[in-house]
Structure 1
């Protein structure tokens, strides 16, 4: 059990004031209110945004739910703020949505797409009943084959320079939520609620954020979802995520199978009742270069794998790729895990495990192990630092570790062994 003293330590260590950028939408010259139709509101929204033009504010009225029966696509926007006082809803008809997703002429890969634009802001409502993007995912999740359904809608795609997402709220999305590209991104006070009436959406792929953007700050995030809170991957550079509370997640994650990326900071995070906490995965048979990545000030409660680093990741449900080049692995340097309090779960599975072995199965796994550092060798894992870790197994005893590839390496803050985690 984690004591109240440890929680107090976490909150004391995570207090800080953070600077947020200037509003890129200063000097807006025109305000346009989106009209409500009797059917699909998407065509009217597209027309209104086009007519409003650059240097404008587009307002969705309070107390109104706009029906997005077809996807929204915006490009070449310049200095436009969308103000979501009302709600926006995908269709509550699974068959109708699947038909749209299959039609590549109207569905570009996400239901809401903003591309080739500069100075775009999405501002949510502070009213708890307004400003929601509603996905009706609970109509999809009960299907045991949902994770294999190629016609699930992804929600948002942004490829924008100077993007601001403020107070955006998502309710029951069907699958992946945010795809972030571009650069100069600030995302604040986001809520992602994928709870169903009988628990989380564990039987579907439901990443909160997939980030390939650079110069990103995500500050303030609360989520209930059945997959990664965030997955950052090359070519992303200079990404910070902080002040996070997450339930039912597969981790604050970094992954790679090619390319290079780095200067990532994840801090001030509490993860409850989840499968994975602080996570890195390099895909088996591939190589990449990742550098200067830090997870710090984490409290991880009842989580199967509190800290999990692996360079030969394979989805055990699918199996290894054929003819994989096993001589390849990620090159990871300057990785740090600092001020992490964690306790493992008695179970090493969650509802996403629909195969035997589970997709997340790790050789040598145990509910008593709280730290997995699985490197190919010391050449592929350089300058690793472990600082002030306080980890416990599900049995309440000091947490065990599973470490390979770094045997005999000194100066890391602990000794690579298959035994109790002891800071040096």
Structure 2
């Protein structure tokens, strides 16, 4: 049975400026470009239990009020050399395999069950290569630059690497699954969301991956992520290397067997302003760095910035950690550690420490508040904190010390 991807009801009225799906073989199509200035609702239905191959990247621009109903499964080619050849060709590859830009009112809706609605990346074909982390020919999956974006029940299986890059405004993402579990090699750079959009909510997230669940960075404003279950992650993260952003809330998270939990990373030799960030209601188990705040982050793939001005650091104001229970793992590393020391190495680190607040000084870290924090070290005893730059500051809830938590 041949699968047809239906585009309706716009085809009759706008017969120019689009290509219908090109049939390559049963249950596959090559590209589909929707015309600009489309104002009618478009629904793409993919039948359940079918695999639709995205042989080349697809891009949509200028959409208005469009919904994609994904009942079948969409898959990248299961061929490393084919995919990398496309990624290396700028005429074919715009930076992501699926791109939606300059659009308004776009919705992707997956199925409520597990039979369909999956995006298949075949990342396991890359992960067995020990040099995967330095491979620049790996595809990024999705890029959305949309006003009023809705992503419902998106399910990603074994992405090669980076999943969602989201900018724009008015974003609502619900019930997402990212499954990058690997039995042969580490799933490098399988980040969940790179979020620079404003007025965004991510509600309901389950993942097994080898990098950040989410990384929110300026210029994003007003971002909430809640109801998280995650394994193997590098954190529910905020980062910055420039600009201003803030009003970020992360709440209701269960994190297991991971490298980092609640995370902030200011990039070494840069400055920025981040205001009003809260992590609350977190349970973090068997994790190397349950709460981790640093201002000298270096990406191990790119190294430190050339001629970095080490006098610069992020300005972080009104950061809150509330109602967090955490147990530290015995090993302070994961499979992403390909250097010695590991990229995540933190001066003073210990399996008995669960809270790191490493500020440049009090000027760069203002109005920090910690409450209802319970830490257990890997030995089962009370967990410790490691704090610099905030010695003597009052009103934080706990004193800046290098020992067990002391209320102040």
TM-score range, shorter chain: over 0.9
Distance 1:79 1:408 in 2: 55
Q: Is the contact between residue 40 and residue 69 of structure 1 (CA under 8 Å) also seen in structure 2?
A: no
Deviation at 1:160, TM superposition (A): 0.2
TM-score (norm 2): 0.92
Residue 102 in structure 1 maps to residue 82 in structure 2: no
Aligned pairs for 1:207-222 (under 5 A) are 207-222=191-206
1:154 aligns with 140
Q: Please report the RMSD computed on the Cα atoms of aligned residues, expressed in angstroms.
A: 2.1
Whole-Å Cα distance in 2 between the matches of residues 30 and 149 of structure 1? 42
Correspondence list, 1:125-136, <5 A: 125-136=111-122
TM-fit CA distance, 1:273: 0.1
Q: Once the two structures are superposed, what CA deviation does each residue of 1:369-405 show, in whole Å capped at 9, x if it has no partner?
A: 1000000111110000001001111111111111000
Residues 37 and 64, structure 2, Cα contact 8 Å, conserved in 1? no
The answer to whether residue 78 in structure 2 is matched with residue 87 in structure 1 is no
1:83 Cα deviation (Å)? 0.3
Residues 143 and 343 (structure 1), Cα distance of their counterparts in 2 relative to 1, 3 Å cut? same
Matching residue of 2:17: none
**Residue 59 (structure 2) aligned to one of 60, 73, 94:** 73
How far 1:95 sits from its partner (Å)?
Answer: 0.1
| Partner residue, 1:403 | 387
Instruction: List aligned pairs for 1:119-268, cutoff 5 A.
Output: 119-198=105-184, 202-268=186-252
| Partner of residue 44, structure 2 | 58
1:311 is displaced (CA, Å) by: 1.0
Equivalenced residue count is 394
- C-alpha distance in structure 1 between counterparts of 2:376 and 2:239, whole Å: 26
1:386 aligns with 2:362: no
CA distance in 1, matches of 2:64, 2:371: 45
Report the TM-score when normalising by structure 1. 0.89
Provide Cα deviations, 1:190-238, integer angstroms capped at 9, x if missing partner: 000001234xx63511110000000000000000000000000010000
1:297 corresponding residue in structure 2: 281
CA–CA distance in 2 between the matches of 1:110 and 1:422?
48
Determine the C-alpha separation between the residues in 1 that align with 2:57 and 2:404.
Answer: 52
Q: Answer yes or no: is the 8 Å Cα contact 2:21–2:29 preserved in 1.
A: no
What is the alpha-carbon distance in structure 1 between the residues aligned to residue 154 and residue 142 of structure 2?
11
Shift of 1:315: 4.0
Q: In the alignment, which residue of structure 2 is the partner of 1:16? A: none
Which deviates further from its counterpart, 38-47 or 247-256? 38-47
Structure 2 residues without counterparts, runs of 5 or longer = 1-6, 12-19
Structure 2 distance, partners of 1:64, 1:53, is: 29
Q: For residue 126 of structure 1, report the CA deviation from its aligned partner.
A: 1.5
* Residue 33 (structure 2) aligns with: 46
CA distance in 2 between partners of 1:29 and 1:70 (Å): 23
Q: Deviations over 1:104-161 (max 9, x none)?
A: 1110000000000000000001221201000000001000011111000000000000
Q: Which residue of 1 aligns with 2:332?
A: 348
Summarize the Cα distance change of 1:50–1:313 in structure 2 as closer, same or farther, 3 Å threshold: closer
Give the corresponding residue for 1:423: 407
Alpha-carbon distance between aligned partners in 2 of 1:216 and 1:278, rounded to the nearest angstrom: 19
> Partner residue of 1:327?
311
Q: Output one character per residue of 1:242-278: Cα deviation in whole Å (capped at 9) or x when no partner.
A: 0000000000000001001000000000000000000
Comparing both structures, which one devotes a greater share of its residues to helix? 1
Partner of 2:265: 281
Segment of structure 1 superposing worse, 60-69 or 224-233: 60-69
The structure-2 alpha-carbon separation of the partners of 1:328 and 1:44, relative to structure 1 and needing over 3 Å to count, comes to closer
1 CA distance for matches of 2:117 and 2:272? Answer: 40
Instruction: State the Cα deviation string for residues 15-56 of structure 1 (Å, max 9, x = none).
Output: xxxxxxxxxxxxx98499978641794445336x78986322
